[in-house]
Amino acid sequence: MVSAQELQRLRKDAEADPSLKAEIARELSLAEDAVAASETLKARGYDLSADELQPATAGAGELNDDALDRVVGGTGSTLPPFVGMVFSDYAHA
């Protein structure tokens, strides 16, 4: 489970500074796994472990019916799971 307080702090900081949010989202989009995503966030001062971020990739290779509908309809997100997990408003972008 992601540290709720740390994730809330990250989201609050990102809302206060849209350029920070965009930079972190871009960096997370390059993360190949939970370890890389954790290192990215830690380098920015947010203590979220790879274990805490692992649920973002659980089942990442499989799509449920809703996700399949969005992909077929062209409304699915192409963002990596870490971006959508950290910034939920990006999850359906």
75 DSSP 8-state letter: -
Angle at 14 (CA atoms; ends 8, 20), nearest 5 degrees: 145
CB 79, CB 90: distance < 8 Å? yes
Per-residue pLDDT of the chain (93 residues; tens, 9 = 90+): 457 899 889 989 999 999 999 999 889 888 888 899 999 999 999 999 888 887 655 555 555 565 555 555 554 555 566 677 777 666 544
pTM here?
A: 0.66
Q: Do the beta carbons of residue 35 and residue 50 sit within 8 Å? A: yes
